[in-house]
Amino acid sequence: MFQHVEAFAGDAIVALNEAFHRDTRPHKVNLSIGIYCDEQGQVPAQHAVCEAEQYLAETRQPKPYLPMEGSTSFRNAMQELLFGAGHEVLAQGRVATVQTVGSSGALKAGAEFICQWFPSSAVWLSDPTWDNHHSLFESAGLSVHSYPYYGADGGLRFDAMLETLRALPRHSVVLLHACCHNPTGVDLTPAQWQLLIPVLQQKALIPFLDLAYQGFGDGLEEDAYAVRALAQSGMCFLLANTLSKSMGVYAERCGALSVVCADAAQAERVLGQLKSTVRQSYFSPPAHGSRVVARVLEDPQLRASWECDLTAMRERIRSLRHQLHAALTRRSPERDFGYLLTQRGMFSYTNFTVQQVRSLRETYAIYLVNSGRMCISGLRADNVERVADAMAAVSVG
């Protein structure tokens, strides 16, 4: 019956992470998957999350289905986190938000919405982007293209990006990383967002923001700059966000899709269509994670504790960037490793070739993604020097 079923090639990053765990070399270093690890190499269980879970266990909440659009308190908490409490677009009821199965689920629901209501629109992704963006949009039936983004010099090809976007047909969808670009760590500055937005507006393009690392760049508010600047411009846009990374609730699948509309009536209809998309797919989202997240965000003490942990994660990543930069500069003072300090968030793009990445893995047990992407949080005070030795060695060889 199933003879014709083809093998799944798998997910390259997940496969690499699995290979790391099978590796028996004691000095191995995992700089592959985008999961935040602490100085002990563990995925930390945040105090606020544990407290919220305990509260939920003690209050023994019943578990009927959530509505198709998800929990109201979770959705409200997401809107406030994204736009800021009392933002004009919220006060005017112009944002349709559904709780989704991680932001992967949000991207997929958004892709299906576009496919249905803008059937002739294509999607434009940054070159490069998170690999799964391609599969999520293509599998929804959309055609996918790339706009210039990352330059060989380690900077942003901003002029080339704008030139490409200016030439797109009306209603083309432009996927933009709101902060901490995956995989390059190269972001637009606020000034560049202010130049980009009129282009999106004049060409009637549909921005689709992906905000997976809010709090990992400069802070919760600062990292929402793009969201708020687009909202301020009066544009309609889509926005996928997730708590996977910032709250360390990867497996709970806590994300949201928000669509900013022209008015409340439009938002009501859009919300209805998003509910219809959810119904056709899995009917209703899971409750536990969204209750945990809502509790953390609503309770002032838990919220403060979470923000404190998030600040510590962000600062640790920044400190690791400085440590690796200093270690590499000591070994090769003639070379410029400034990219480590200017790139933001969990990832840095090293420009290593596939051969250099393989050599790091096979000879030194240091795991980077084949593109040369390095997950900074896998570094630790006790492995930075060894990573720098290996990076210097493969750079010469």
Task: Please identify every residue annotated as catalytic.
Answer: 130, 210, 245
- Report, in Å, the least distance between residue 66 CB and ligand TYF: 24
How many angstroms separate the CA atoms of 93 and 138, rounded? 31
- Report, in Å, the least distance between residue 396 CB and ligand PLP: 32
Restricting to residues 146-205, name those near ligand PLP by CB under 6 A. Answer: 182
Q: How many residues bind ligand TYF (CB under 6 A)?
A: 8
With CB atoms as reference, the residue minimizing the distance to ligand PLP is 102
| DSSP collapsed to 3 states, the chain | CCCCCCCCCCCHHHHHHHHHHHCCCCCCEECCCCCCCCCCCCCCCCHHHHHHHHHHHHHCCCCCCCCCCCCHHHHHHHHHHHHCCCCHHHHCCCEEEEEEEHHHHHHHHHHHHHHHHCCCCCEEEEECCCHHHHHHHHHCCCCEEEEECECCCCCECHHHHHHHHHCCCCCCEEEEECCCCCCCCCCCCHHHHHHHHHHHHHCCCEEEEEECCCCCCCCCCHHHHHHHHHHHHCCCEEEEEECCCCCCCHHHCEEEEEEECCCHHHHHHHHHHHHHHHHHHCCCCCCHHHHHHHHHHHCHHHHHHHHHHHHHHHHHHHHHHHHHHHHHHHHCCCCCCCHHHHCCCCEEECCCCHHHHHHHHHHHCEECCCCCEEEHHHCCCCCHHHHHHHHHHHHHC
Find which of ligand TYF, ligand PLP, none residue 33 binds, CB within 5 to 8 Å per kind: ligand TYF
Q: Does 33 bind ligand TYF (CB under 6 A)?
A: yes
Find which of ligand PLP, ligand TYF, none residue 251 binds, CB within 5 to 8 Å per kind: none
Restricting to residues 207-226, name those near ligand PLP by CB under 6 A. Answer: 210, 212
Closest to ligand TYF by CB, 133 vs 275, is 133
Site string for ligand PLP, 224-263 (x = CB under 6 A): ------------------x-x-----x----x--------
- Report, in Å, the least distance between residue 137 CB and ligand PLP: 12
Closest to ligand PLP by CB, 250 vs 337, is 250
Q: Does 130 bind ligand TYF (CB under 6 A)?
A: yes
**Entry field: residues in the chain:** 397
Q: Does 104 bind ligand PLP (CB under 6 A)?
A: yes
Q: Does 132 bind ligand TYF (CB under 6 A)?
A: yes
Restricting to residues 357-396, name those near ligand PLP by CB under 6 A. Answer: none
Site string for ligand TYF, 84-123 (x = CB under 6 A): ----------------------------------------
- Report, in Å, the least distance between residue 22 CB and ligand TYF: 18
Q: Which residues bind ligand TYF (CB under 6 A)?
A: 11, 13-14, 33-34, 130, 132, 182
Q: Which residues bind ligand PLP (CB under 6 A)?
A: 34, 102-104, 130, 182, 210, 212, 242, 244, 250, 255
